[in-house]
Amino acid sequence: MTRGPRIGDPAPRPDGPDKVTGRFPYSSDLRAPGMLWGAAVRSPHASARIVGIDPAPALALEGVAAVLTADDVPGRPTYGLAVADQPAFARDLVRHHGEAVAVVAAATPDLARRAARAVAVDYAPLDPLTDPAAAVTAAPLHPNGNVFRHLIVRRGDVAAAAADPDLVTVEDTYEVGRQDPAFLGLESGLAVPAADGGVDLAVSTQFLHADRDQVAASLGLAPERVRLTLAGVGGAFGGREDLTLHLHLCLLALRTGRPVGMAYDRSESFVGHVTRHPARMWYRHRATRDGTLVSVEARVLLDGGAYQSTSAAVLANACCFAAGPYRVPHALVEGWAVRTNHPPAGALRGFGIPQVCFAHESQMDALAAALGVDPVDLRRRNALAPGDALLTGQRITGTAPAVACLDAAVAHPLPAPPDDDPLRRPGGTGLATGPGDVRRGVGVAMAFKNLMYSEGLQDLSTASVRLAVDGGELVATVHCAAAEVGQGFVTLAQQIVRTELGVDRVVLRAADTSIGEAGSSSASRQSWMSGGAVAAACAGVRDEVLARVAAGRGGRGEAFALRDGEVVSRDGGLRLPLAEVVGADPVEAVRVFTHADTAPLDADGQGDAHVAFVFTAHRAVVDVDPALGSVQVVQIATGQDIGRALNPLAVTGQLEGGIAQGLGLALLEDVVTREGRVATRTFQDYLVPTALDVGDVVATLIEEPEPGAPYGAKGVGEAPTLSSIPAVVAAVRAATGRRLRRVPVRPAHVALGEDGVAPFVVPGGPAAPPGVVTGPEGPLAKPALTDPPGVAELPGGEGGA
């Protein structure tokens, strides 16, 4: 066995060979003898009463095995990550376009789709609630009310600070559209009924145990009767944290007694999974004449769609990080996440921070312009450093290399001026842009984000490592329910075991629910949490191995260490091959890993709610054809805080991929709705960046090991998507002088100078909303807040500067 990569080495993916040969089994590739295929019946309306459902025309088709509706759910009729407010099937009321009303099983995928179309559903359409600002006072769409969460973060005294007449003030309103995860592997899976009355489900997901628990509750089964195995995942980005077809598959399998497979098509996927929260934001920044931030006021309104999903936690992130990575002595942030008749919004790479990052960085540029200072200097002057306090009052105890990220991003040499290749111009192959039609712009932005779960939420991961001898060779087997979604946890797990145990052959068991939970592959948390769990399990194995040696030698185990497959005495006098110690008696350890506790936020949004923070900065260079509004990204330079690069190959991949997603939100990606209905349902209109759109990425990794983190590493899955968004927009502004207060920036916004942003309307009317918020309770939800009197001092929402 050749020496495999250790921590810090560039490590190729263990699943690489299977993925390049087509052997790797994605969730859409699974087959079982005698299987049926499922398809959902979905509402064409955003809001409607269901008058009746007649399955007979579908059941009349030869080969149709079942049609299930809300009446066929044996357990809890609803599900949800934080609050179970989402029906397995709409019963009386449809609350969003694409909501499932029924599901069919048939002999072939084609027949299943035809049968789904044949189910006769009688709808009485209702006027959809599509304006999030109106949701607070509108008639409730759901027994839980229309406000998922209302949150205030108050620091210092904004009103008193504003009294200084020498301050420079900038104020504006910003909007963020609806970004889709647009993973390429569509939702799919296979459920197989089991002899014990339970069900085996192989599915693409980010969070196996949360899926299992929600499915089991609705099936009315004990959780251990629902056995989930991770099937090959074709990308996730947050869009697979919530249930999609899981429950429908299991219901069909248990009803028909046969394996059932199911796969969404793309148009179904656009209405069948959560998107990023569309946001409206009002901001006012005040600074002294020398460019020191004094106060930030912000209002953030998130459209959570028809069901809660993770809206409450997304809003907390948006509010806690509303001012960006800067020292702000006085702040007042008020946020709402509300229910509308749009499809649900939830987790997506960045989790609430991309929205506010676009706004706070646009504000920093506006402030620099108002002060007449360099935007980079303004950021450097106000950047957070270790020991500084956040808006929530929490002090940064770990690393905070904000300035190092910024300096690294702007230190990269600028790219060469536009060359003669017409295809490289903003007009691309359309040849619309001539050499004289190009203006170049440069923009800079920075951001920070929390790592792992916050606000006291339980956060743990479980891993087992088993060391055995197989054919004379040591083999370590790792088992962990962390979902590999492409980020490279499988690679990291092998690196950790090789590093800790010196064993090169490391086998990974499929992630499933036969082991304890690992939490979600989100919140940039798996390297820290499940990496920590694997390292801890390795330590357990090592301790047992050393104890064995010690037991055989009269209790002197502490004098030995494990090094490169050998047990070595401290003085080097004794070297025992590890394989000999393990022999025919494998060593196994299971460990649960947690991080330091976090606290809930209090009524003023104060508290040590977060574990650790990752910082990032981006500089974008774009070429723009101002007359047509076409934009070509030329280069994005980044300085990225990573603590330590555990696998430089994977880090680079995450940076470049994350930047592409940020650039997509900045310029291209928007799910457009009309009267609540999703109009953008193909990749012809939902524009995912291509190889021609992304430009060059140049990156500097900032390695300052984070205290308390396994190997000192920070998760880097989300940070690249944050400030890449405002950096690109700032560059387009620099090239054109346009205001551009909405992303994605459309050609018309640039060409015609009209970004379509309306003045911010405060939810619930011109005054602050009434005293008690009627949001539902739940693990992520907050106790009802009483509005403090200070809120009334916020301006009435006439946001336009």
Site for other proteins in 102-121 (CB under 8 A): 109, 117
Q: Could you give the 3-state DSSP secondary structure of residue 383?
A: strand
Q: Are 134 and 342 in contact (CB under 8 A)?
A: no
Which of 427, 605 has the CB closer to other proteins?
427
Q: Which two tokens stand for residue 503?
A: 């064993």
Task: Rule CB under 8 A: say whether 407 interacts with other proteins.
Answer: no
Under the binding rule (CB under 8 A), the answer on residue 488 touching other proteins is yes
Give the torsion sign (CA, 336, 342, 343, 348).
negative
Nearer to other proteins, 108 or 774 (CB): 108
Q: In whole angstroms, how close is the CB of 752 to other proteins at the nearest point?
A: 6
> Which of 23, 289, 563, 575 forms a contact with other proteins (CB under 8 A)?
23
Q: Min. distance of Cβ 36 from other proteins in angstroms?
A: 13
Of 558 and 685, the one with the shorter C-beta distance to other proteins is: 685
Instruction: Reduce the secondary structure of 68-127 to three states and give it as a string.
Output: ECHHHCCCCCEECCCCCCEECCCCCEECCCCCEEEEEEECCHHHHHHHHHHCEEEEEECC
Q: What is the 3-state secondary structure (H, E, C) of 528-595?
A: HHHHHHHHHHHHHHHHHHHHHHHHHCCCCHHHEEEECCEEEECCCCCEEEHHHHHCCCCEEEEEEEEC
Segment 644-663, which members bind other proteins (CB under 8 A)? 649-650, 652-653, 655-661
Q: How many CA atoms lie within 13 A of 268 on its CB side?
A: 17
Task: Check binding of 3 to other proteins (CB under 8 A).
Answer: no
Of 77, 156, 235, 600, the residue at the interface with other proteins (CB under 8 A) is 235
Member of 56, 222, 414, 748 binding other proteins (CB under 8 A) = 748
- Give yes or no for residue 373 binding other proteins (CB under 8 A): no
* Residue of 43, 130, 399, 433 interacting with other proteins (CB under 8 A): 433
Site residues (CB under 8 A) for other proteins, limited to 679-738? 679-680, 682-685, 687-688, 690-694, 696-697
Count other Cβ atoms within 10 Å, centred on residue 498: 24
In the numeric block, the tokens 């004289």 are attached to 436
Phi, psi of 154, deg, nearest 5: -125, 125
426 binds other proteins (CB under 8 A): yes
Q: How far is the CB of 129 from other proteins (least distance, A)?
A: 22
**Calpha distance 743→443 (Å, rounded):** 15
Across the beta sheet with 506-508, the strand order is 506-508, 473-480, 460-470, 587-594
Pick the stretch among 168-176, 360-368, 374-382, 505-513 that binds other proteins (CB under 8 A).
Answer: 505-513
Contact status: 16 vs other proteins (CB under 8 A): yes
Nearer to other proteins, 151 or 622 (CB): 622
Question: Does residue 508 interact with other proteins by CB under 8 A?
Answer: yes
Q: Is 33 one of the binding residues for other proteins (CB under 8 A)? A: yes
Residue from 3, 20, 56, 288 in contact with other proteins (CB under 8 A): 20
Which of 93, 138, 373, 507 binds other proteins (CB under 8 A)? It is 507
Whether omega for the bond prior to residue 413 falls within 30 degrees of 0, making it cis, is no
Binding of residue 588 to other proteins (CB under 8 A): no
From the CB of 632, what's the least distance to other proteins, in Å?
A: 6
Stretch that binds other proteins, among 309-317, 478-486, 596-604, 702-710 (CB under 8 A): 478-486
549/714 Cα distance (integer angstroms) = 36
Shortest Å, Cβ 78 to other proteins: 29
Site string for other proteins, 191-230 (x = CB under 8 A): -x---------x--------------------------xx
Among the listed ranges 146-154, 356-364, 399-407, 502-510, the one in contact with other proteins (CB under 8 A) is 502-510
Residue 522 lies near other proteins (rule: CB under 8 A): no
Chain residues 248-307 in contact with other proteins, contact rule CB under 8 A: 259, 265-267
Nearer to other proteins, 329 or 653 (CB): 653
Check binding of 415 to other proteins (CB under 8 A): no
- Footprint (CB under 8 A) of other proteins, residues 54-113: 61-62, 109
Pair of tokens at residue 9 = 């080495």
Whether the CB-CB separation of 38 and 262 falls below 8 Å is answered with yes
Confirm or reject binding of residue 632 to other proteins (CB under 8 A).
yes
C-alpha distances in angstroms, 311 versus 80, 273, 344, 764? 11, 14, 9, 19
Give the one residue of 17, 220, 386, 766 binding other proteins; rule: CB under 8 A.
Answer: 17
Residue 798 is a binding residue for other proteins (CB under 8 A): no
Instruction: Confirm if 186 and 234 have CB atoms less than 8 A apart.
Output: yes
- Which of 258, 449, 619, 746 binds other proteins (CB under 8 A)? It is 746
| 550, 563, 639 from 716: Cα distances, Å | 41, 30, 12
* Among the residue ranges 165-173, 186-194, 577-585, 587-595, the one whose residues contact other proteins (CB under 8 A): 186-194
User: What phi and psi, each to the nearest 5 degrees, are found at residue 768?
Assistant: -65, 155
- Establish if 490 lies at the interface with other proteins (CB under 8 A): yes
Query: Which residue, 203 or 319, has its beta carbon nearer to other proteins?
Result: 203
Return d(Cα 216, Cα 594) in angstroms, integer.
25
| Distance from chain centroid for Cα 689 | 18
Are 344 and 96 in contact, with CB atoms under 8 Å apart?
A: yes
Alpha carbon distance 678, 353 (integer Å)? 24
Residue from 38, 87, 198, 232 touching other proteins (CB under 8 A): that is 232
Which of residues 507 and 574 has its CB atom nearest to other proteins in the complex?
507
CA angle 185, 186, 190 (to 5 degrees): 100
Specify the residue, 167 or 510, whose C-beta has the smaller distance to other proteins: 510
The residue count for the chain: 801
30 belongs to the binding site for other proteins (CB under 8 A): yes
